[in-house]
Structure 1
Amino acid sequence: MRFQSRGFHSHDSRRKSHDKITFGDALGFAIGDVYGGGSAILTGTYLSVFWTRFCGFDIGTAQSMIGAAAMLSACSAIIFGVLSERFYLFRLGRRFGRRRFFVMMVSPLVLVTLLMWIPGMPKVLYFFVYVLYVTLQQMFGVCYSSLPGEMTRDFAGRSLLSTVRMFVSGMSGVIIPFAATAILTWLGEWHAYSYQTFVTIVTVAFAIVTFTSSRLTWELTPEEAGFGEAELARRRAAKHRRGAREIMQAIGHVAAEYASTFRIATFRVHITLYLICLTLMDIFTQSFVYFVVFDLGKTAAFASMLLSFAVIAEFFKPLWGWLFVHIGPRNLYAVDYTGALIGLGLLFVSWRLEPVLPEGVWTAYVIVSAIIWFVFRSLAGTVPWLVFPFIPDVDMIVTRRNRASIFSGITTFLRFIFSGLASMGVGAFLAFSGFKPDQSGAQSSSAVNAVAFVCLGWLAIGFIIAFIVSRRFTLDQRSDLIVLHEIERLKDGGNKDDVEPHVRETVERLTGQPYERCWGGV
């Protein structure tokens, strides 16, 4: 068969996609998220600090460049979402896979981004290298996040893939600050080569794990994805006949495809919670080192030491997975946001107690406060990804198609748009307050308060809003099974008029569409 070329085995892919997922399979998939989870931690925590200390940036310029780069590259998520859907039209896609090819390409390209850690270059070069960095994040995120839905349709298998992935991703977010603590303490945090040493080690690790994951995962065969010989010939012929009008129509179709995701009520609530929580995580990551250095009066190495205690949160991941199944996402969101608010409150108290408590007592208190915060911060990042594999099920009862990469594409696009806006907002707010991160001395009281308000206050407001929104989220294991059974009934030729009342109510509640409009490609 033409599709059975070296590097892509359609027979093995078809067999595995219906087998039980083993822990080894899940680990082979999850190892790639060392990059997915660690890449944002690396730049979010240390890049602004490096640029302001060693490259001549002020805080407003550094954060504005980071934000603008994220927003500029956000459109690439849309492009990769569509491209990866159709990549079997190309020889590279049929040889390496339409998802795994892009995961593999991260490996060599991420090494180029080490250039943004070299002092003395033009600012425009830093900007464009960072654009490449965040574009690679989006290319990886869109294609990698689509793999669980293709590797298996089994509920337990998908949950195992997501749970192990979240654990590995979270561990990368712990190991990077731990490495930073060791190296900055050893070499000194006011030397550029200290940062360059650990950044180089981490980036090389990113290159290794992304290549490894691309070889240990699988996806739908070309035939299973609808790319048989006849379909390939038809699409190629249509592509060669396209003129300017047809191209514009195709672009309009793509835009409509992405816009249609917001017709699904469950996705609207999910994306709102996802964007709130992940944007808050970005704000915390970008401001925490400044909070520790200028509000708590400690060092960047001490901040990295506190961040390394996030490893404790990883041991809660099995509990989160169990609670996700047994109490449902909505209740788990409530636990998450309540705990996050408590953790932020404890960190605020640690700031006010620092001048009055003995050093040893205060250090123990701030460590405990940080651990509580990290546990629920981890949960805030875990729940949306536990939910995500089931969103396409709700969409499928409406459109009759599995559009996982379309949802992944629009999610990643909006994620980086909001991340960019948050970076620019942080930089503008701190610059307006008179904050000067390139000096090691005392800041003005307004600057100190501004850092605390960004790091803790903005997050507290965001989690209160998220708590309110989360009460509208009703997707859980029971309702997902109802949707899947109804899909199977309709696939088998069942009549829509014969739908049971409780099934109709569930479908309409999750989709936000009248049942009569479902299963019709809305």
Structure 2
Amino acid sequence: MASAAITPRPVRWYNLAAYGSNDVLGAGSMAVISTWILLFYTSFCGLSAAQATIIFGVARVLDAFTSPMIGHLSDNIGRSWLGRRFGRRRFFILAAIPLLPSFAIMWVAGQSFWYYLVTYVLFEMVYAMEIIPYETLASEMSTDYRTKAKFAGARILLGQCSAVGAAFLPGWLISYLGPKSPDTYLYMGIIFSGLFMGAAGLLYAFSWERPRPPGLDEEEAARGGATLGAAFRALYRNLFSTLRIRAFRLHLGMYLGGYISQDIYNAAFTYFVIFALAGSTAIVANLVGVTYVVQLVAVVLAINFALKLSPAAAYRMAAASFAIGVVIFLVMYGAGYGATSALFWLPVVFAGLGRGALNYIPWATYNYMADVDEIVTGRRREGAFAGVMTFVRKMSQALAVILVGQVMQASGFVSKATEQSPQAIAAIVGVMGLGTIAMLAFGVFVSTRFRLTPRTHGILMAEIEHLRAGNRTPSSAENGAIVEDLAGWRYDRLWGNNPVGGAR
């Protein structure tokens, strides 16, 4: 079995900045889409709420199958000429750059249902082509716990900056073009397409991949190679094999609880402000913009809490803050406050603090999942984890948003209407409140069993070297128990002595 040789290379500030800047695509595009796409479809394109969320859901489902295949290909393309010349991860990033303007063509008003479906699916495919390899680079560029935390922090901090722009930019365009102009969204799409291309270019220029040990590419090629057929088979194999890693299962539960709660909140919030609070798109832009500014502050706090306390403890604090913000929104709505009330900045602050930390913590812990997997399989499978994580995320996100749209449609929501019925407004309020809080509660429950901390990660890495040196018993009983808790396997079954990932 080939082992992954670690060749340390210094990580400079510009490497962190270039890595983080790519989340202009990751967080920026998703902030724009989650805040504005459903409103754009129902207000300027003549689509019903059900049609709009079906487009969103279909694109997510297709992407859910594409992402694991891209992850598998990026794991196995290293032995090809393209992989050797451009990097097995970085080749995909380079190839995606000229395709990123596909984001702009999504925002052309007055087209058919099929136009919006095709253009959305196209962008999702390009997005996955760039983001999946990107998600592996922190583990490629460093093995140190704190350095990986810095990569995650740079990513989320700069991603939140782009999300702030995604919220405020439409407001500025609305004030210039008028609230009834669909060109607002087209210009926004063009501006962000340019930013996406620049960020991907910086990422390619200032990143690298860990040198591959001799013979490892040939060993992995024997397991299936970098063909599309092998990638499709790997989709199912990786899905089940990665879920056999206990820390990854728990991480995935926390990730889904934190992110699906935000999916539900985002899908309903714009409608909540406009119809339940009698607000406007400009008010939505301002509220969302301030939320993302607060999230930026929350990321800084979460970085410190996650390093000094534990990711799980920081997660629970973040979920509580987000839930408090949602509850305050519901109480103020019930008390009859409108969108122009100054008191509405209070729940925005609570929600923003929670959301910012919930965005950072799962991605910070994700960077260590390949380390836990390595002690189980003796291999490095960053691409497989990135693909599976995105597969589960996209499938659940699709179901969540489709459910929101179907509930709104069933309640009598009318597209292009300036007012909605009491039943439709009640459905919007209920979805945003109960749906968001239910998913937060699920994430908090899972977090109580997640025990990856800076200390346990250090022990994990020491035990990996212990096994690599040829030992097959733990260096101490305590260390053995910690590793077994993270891996979910007995110590004598670690280091490839198990069926996980085709190790043996």
TM-score by length of 2: 0.92
Counterpart check, 1:503 vs 2:493: no
Whether the aligned pair in 2 keeps the contact of 1:20 and 1:154 (CA below 8 Å) is: no
1:263-296 Cα deviation digits (max 9, x unpaired): 1111111111112221221222222111110011
Residue identity opposite 2:332 in structure 1: S
SS at match of 1:263: coil
Distance (Å, rounded) in 1 between the aligned partners of 2:47 and 2:479:
58
Whether the aligned pair in 1 keeps the contact of 2:68 and 2:386 (CA below 8 Å) is: no
Q: 1:353 to 1:402 in 2, by over 3 A?
A: same
Q: 1:185 to 1:353 in 2, by over 3 A?
A: farther
Match of 2:304 in 1: 322
Q: 2:17 aligns with which of 21, 27, 31?
A: 27
Q: 2:370 aligns with which of 392, 412, 429?
A: 392
Distance (Å, rounded) in 2 between the aligned partners of 1:223 and 1:393:
17
Q: 2:327 aligns with which of 345, 357, 363?
A: 345
Whether the aligned pair in 1 keeps the contact of 2:75 and 2:381 (CA below 8 Å) is: no
Counterpart check, 1:198 vs 2:188: yes
Whether the aligned pair in 2 keeps the contact of 1:88 and 1:94 (CA below 8 Å) is: yes
Distance (Å, rounded) in 2 between the aligned partners of 1:492 and 1:335:
40
Residue identity opposite 1:517 in structure 2: R
Which sections of structure 2, spanning at least 5 residues, go unmatched?
499-504
Q: Offset at 1:180?
A: 0.9
Q: Offset at 1:33?
A: 0.8
Match of 2:258 in 1: 277
Match of 1:483 in 2: 460
Q: 1:120 to 1:399 in 2, by over 3 A?
A: same
Q: Offset at 1:176?
A: 0.9
Match of 1:304 in 2: 285
Distance (Å, rounded) in 1 between the aligned partners of 2:408 and 2:97:
35
Q: 1:148 aligns with which of 107, 128, 138?
A: 138
Whether the aligned pair in 1 keeps the contact of 2:83 and 2:91 (CA below 8 Å) is: yes
Match of 1:210 in 2: 200
Whether the aligned pair in 2 keeps the contact of 1:68 and 1:424 (CA below 8 Å) is: no
Counterpart check, 1:170 vs 2:170: no
Match of 1:219 in 2: 209
Distance (Å, rounded) in 2 between the aligned partners of 1:114 and 1:82:
29
Distance (Å, rounded) in 2 between the aligned partners of 1:382 and 1:293:
29
Residue identity opposite 1:456 in structure 2: G
SS at match of 1:324: helix
Worse-matched range after superposition: 410-419 or 50-59 = 50-59
Q: 1:250 to 1:335 in 2, by over 3 A?
A: closer
Distance (Å, rounded) in 2 between the aligned partners of 1:345 and 1:254:
39
1:341-368 Cα deviation digits (max 9, x unpaired): 111111112323444x8x8xx6321012
Q: 1:235 to 1:78 in 2, by over 3 A?
A: closer
Distance (Å, rounded) in 2 between the aligned partners of 1:252 and 1:28:
34
1:488-515 Cα deviation digits (max 9, x unpaired): 1111122x23542111211111111112
Whether the aligned pair in 2 keeps the contact of 1:36 and 1:140 (CA below 8 Å) is: no
Q: 1:472 aligns with which of 431, 449, 462?
A: 449
Distance (Å, rounded) in 2 between the aligned partners of 1:271 and 1:377:
17
Match of 1:9 in 2: none
Q: 1:90 aligns with which of 59, 65, 80?
A: 80
Match of 1:332 in 2: 314
Counterpart check, 1:447 vs 2:424: yes
Q: How many residues align?
A: 493
Distance (Å, rounded) in 2 between the aligned partners of 1:463 and 1:319:
20
1:181-200 Cα deviation digits (max 9, x unpaired): 11112211211112212222
Residue identity opposite 1:418 in structure 2: S
Counterpart check, 1:519 vs 2:495: yes
Whether the aligned pair in 2 keeps the contact of 1:115 and 1:126 (CA below 8 Å) is: no
Counterpart check, 1:429 vs 2:429: no
Distance (Å, rounded) in 1 between the aligned partners of 2:415 and 2:434:
20
Whether the aligned pair in 1 keeps the contact of 2:14 and 2:206 (CA below 8 Å) is: no
Match of 2:341 in 1: 363
Match of 2:42 in 1: 52
Distance (Å, rounded) in 2 between the aligned partners of 1:19 and 1:32:
21
Distance (Å, rounded) in 2 between the aligned partners of 1:67 and 1:29:
29
Worse-matched range after superposition: 412-421 or 464-473 = 464-473
Q: Offset at 1:250?
A: 7.9
Q: Offset at 1:57?
A: 0.4
Distance (Å, rounded) in 1 between the aligned partners of 2:362 and 2:229:
34
SS at match of 1:365: helix
Distance (Å, rounded) in 1 between the aligned partners of 2:56 and 2:235:
28
Distance (Å, rounded) in 1 between the aligned partners of 2:334 and 2:304:
37
Name the % identity.
Answer: 27
Residue identity opposite 2:387 in structure 1: G
Residue identity opposite 2:460 in structure 1: V
1:206-246 Cα deviation digits (max 9, x unpaired): 1221122122211123557934xxx49x959x979x9xxxx
Distance (Å, rounded) in 1 between the aligned partners of 2:320 and 2:230:
47
Distance (Å, rounded) in 2 between the aligned partners of 1:225 and 1:135:
32
Counterpart check, 1:264 vs 2:277: no
Distance (Å, rounded) in 1 between the aligned partners of 2:43 and 2:274:
13
Whether the aligned pair in 2 keeps the contact of 1:163 and 1:321 (CA below 8 Å) is: yes
TM-score by length of 1: 0.89
Residue identity opposite 1:259 in structure 2: F
Structure 1 residues 44-123: aligned runs within 5 Å = 44-123=34-113
RMSD: 2.4
SS at match of 1:336: helix
Worse-matched range after superposition: 96-105 or 300-309 = 96-105
Residue identity opposite 2:272 in structure 1: F
Whether the aligned pair in 2 keeps the contact of 1:39 and 1:137 (CA below 8 Å) is: no
Worse-matched range after superposition: 185-194 or 264-273 = 185-194
Rg: which structure is higher? 1
1:9-36 Cα deviation digits (max 9, x unpaired): xxxxx99x61332222100111111111
Distance (Å, rounded) in 1 between the aligned partners of 2:140 and 2:437:
37
SS at match of 1:474: coil
